[in-house]
Structure 1
Amino acid sequence: MVRPLSLAQHTLFADLIEQGGDGLFDPDFPENGSFLIRPGRSGVSLSSGHVYYQGYRSAADDADRSKRFARYVGRADDLSVMDRVAQFQRIKAVRAERATNVRALIGTGMPRPDRITGRLVEALAKAGLFHSDAVLLGDGAYQAYGGLLGVCQSKTLCKAMNDRPIVTMAVRDRDRLGDVLDALRRVDPSFASNPSDTVSSAAATYRSASGAQVAIAIAPITNARIKTPADPARSAGTPGAASGLFRACHQ
């Protein structure tokens, strides 16, 4: 059963969209990490020290397991570096607010994806696929688009039909398939294309060692833009809108 969102749900979802703007995510420094300033050789002042980012990346053999890493960013007396650190702190603060809003929306009955599906959709959004006229299909679409349409989809429609995560999407440009695979491998390096796919095929499928699958349909190229209600090609699929639900609820 589809039911309209209440005023409170509309307000929470609007806040979530605002908190999901492109400027509130830094692909180089994910929010699950932190910055560390180490003093210089003199050991007297941090302003003469060096800035490092400590983060986590998926283990090569297990997408659910992360390995810690450190990356040198620059000198602490470099204003551009410290501006990046300050922006990161703002991003982390918004992340906490975003997670609170998502928990509240889920508590009111809004659907949520499983953790792996959320991470996959987030990676595709960060890769800019949804800015290039790509749209979600199937389970992912039902889970993401309801808020934009002002409704709460039925749990039957939003429930995944398979035990293993499956993300389905359509893209216009076959040349973007390489970007899809690169994005997926940032989540799980074991993702690979289906050997049966050929250049002339109408679709591509990528699978991970754990069984997660991403299916891509190649939409025919026409003069018309790919659109669904509320044009989620420019909204729900992008980091600036309903994919905020995917971003936060699986963190």
Structure 2
Amino acid sequence: MKKIDLVYQTMLAELGQRSMDAAWTADFPPEGRFQRVVVKERSYWYFDLPDGSGGKSRRYVGPAEDDEITRRVETHQRQKDDLLARRRMVSSLTREGGMIAPDTMSGAIVEALASGGLFRLRGVLIGTVAFQTYAGLLGVRLPAAAILTGDADIAQDYAISREVEDTLPPIVDLLQNVDPSFRPVPHRSGSIASSAFQNATGYRVEFLTSNRGSNGYIDQPASMPALGGASADPLRFLDFLIKDPLRTILLHKSGVPVTVPDPARYAVHKMIVATRRRTDGLSAVKRDKDIRQAEVLFEALYETRRASDFAIVFEEAWQRGPAWQEALQKAANSMLSAEGQDALNRIRRQGNMEIGLDPPEDIPLGT
């Protein structure tokens, strides 16, 4: 797997810092004030902004235990936003550096949601649009066949949405500012709530959340107070995927700061969800892409010396019980290609050695 030149990896880091500074200044102008608030014995940062009539509006910022957020609060000041320079950096990274820009629609949608506050409210970009950012995060060139998409998937933890006491502007308005043809998709349960939105060309934006236990929640949209009127579909295994997400940059226009799953978690999660898809129609196409993306990440994580990261999250998934073990075994034994099985064997063997686990003999691969 070809690595991206260090010059461009360094440029991405610089772009990320500049883009995050610009987004921070837009969200939290100098005339406002940060406040530390304790909610259920945990400390969070909020931002109070005068509303011009003697009152104030309050925005959620994030947990006080997040060192990056706290550092920015402590050094809050207006940052110079060099928009043109950042656009040139994005162009260099995608045209010369081997990194990946999203398609125009995906980029515009994520930009609109980010500007509305999605990632400030701890939303996580998942699916193929998130996968596209891993070229920059891992410093490797990703194959084009693994990055094509026609949708955008967004996740938010249910408890976070209930507790932040802040919300996006109406989701319909944000999406229609990108394309006026976006409309809510009727939910399969018959509920009046919508967790998905689609435009006239079939591009779909879907909101997901972690399942809260009983399978009775699976077919019902969850009310998400922070999502601007959108609900979210509860999804098994999603809590594993969005645990400890990473900040990075989506290479659209001048760079859009986003939050994405850890790539090791993404790879393990794709193995699991591939086993839950049907074997016909569009579901089969998505299953094949799940497996291809997982295989690409096995190789990329191994080549970039992140085998221990993979071994840790694989072991975490394995310890979650028989249903998880069955899914991982099924994916490994009957869904991966021969090359994918070899890559999985290699990264697990190396990763287990690095973290002090026994060699991975529990799953008989190569069959």
**Same structural fold, with TM-score higher than 0.5 when normalized by the shorter chain:** yes
Q: Deviations over 1:87-115 (max 9, x none)?
A: 89x53xx1111111111111222111111
2 CA distance for matches of 1:229 and 1:10?
A: 25
Distance 1:143 1:221, change over 3 A: same
**Is 1:98 aligned with 2:105?**
no
Deviation of 1:181 after TM superposition, in Å, equals: 2.9
Partner of 1:143: 132
Partner of 2:157: 172
- Find the residue that maps to 1:189 and give its secondary structure: coil
Distance 1:149 1:128, change over 3 A: farther
Deviation of 1:122 after TM superposition, in Å, equals: 0.7
Q: Deviations over 1:18-68 (max 9, x none)?
A: 1202535648xxxxxxxxxxxxxxxxxxxxxxxxxxxxxxxxxxxxxxxxx
Structure 2, unaligned stretches of length 5 or more? 28-77, 214-237, 257-367
Partner of 1:184: 175
Deviation of 1:230 after TM superposition, in Å, equals: 7.1
Deviation of 1:119 after TM superposition, in Å, equals: 0.6
Q: Which amino acid aligns with 1:159?
A: L
Partner of 1:18: 17
- Find the residue that maps to 2:19 and give its secondary structure: coil
Partner of 2:252: 246
Of the three residues 107, 111, 115, the one matched with 1:118 is: 107
Alignment RMSD, CA only? 3.6
- Find the residue that maps to 2:100 and give its secondary structure: coil
Partner of 1:206: 197
Structure 1, unaligned stretches of length 5 or more? 28-86, 237-241
Partner of 1:46: none
1 CA distance for matches of 2:153 and 2:7?
A: 31
1 CA distance for matches of 2:20 and 2:112?
A: 15
Q: Deviations over 1:147-204 (max 9, x none)?
A: 12333322222233xxxx4111222247768743332122223322102355869982
- The higher-RCO structure (CA 8 Å, 6+ apart) is 1
1 CA distance for matches of 2:193 and 2:209?
A: 6
2 CA distance for matches of 1:109 and 1:95?
A: 22
Partner of 2:6: 7
2 CA distance for matches of 1:169 and 1:105?
A: 25
Q: Is the 8 A contact 1:197 1:204 kept in 2?
A: no
1 CA distance for matches of 2:21 and 2:87?
A: 17
Q: Is the 8 A contact 1:19 1:98 kept in 2?
A: yes
Q: Which amino acid aligns with 2:156?
A: V
1 CA distance for matches of 2:195 and 2:113?
A: 15
* Higher-helix-fraction structure: 2
2 CA distance for matches of 1:212 and 1:16?
A: 28
Of the three residues 133, 150, 154, the one matched with 2:122 is: 133
1 CA distance for matches of 2:120 and 2:255?
A: 22
**Is 1:231 aligned with 2:245?**
yes
**Is 1:217 aligned with 2:208?**
yes
Deviates further, 118-127 or 200-209: 200-209
- Find the residue that maps to 1:118 and give its secondary structure: helix
Partner of 2:147: 158
Distance 1:206 1:113, change over 3 A: same
- Find the residue that maps to 1:112 and give its secondary structure: coil
Q: Is the 8 A contact 2:94 2:100 kept in 1?
A: yes
1 CA distance for matches of 2:106 and 2:252?
A: 8
Q: Which amino acid aligns with 2:87?
A: A
Distance 1:140 1:16, change over 3 A: same
Distance 1:230 1:99, change over 3 A: farther
Give me the TM-score of the superposition, normalised by structure 1. 0.57
Give me the TM-score of the superposition, normalised by structure 2. 0.40
Distance 1:199 1:136, change over 3 A: farther
* Higher-strand-fraction structure: 1
Aligned residues: 175
Alignment of 1:46-85 (within 5 A): none
Which structure has the larger Rg? 2
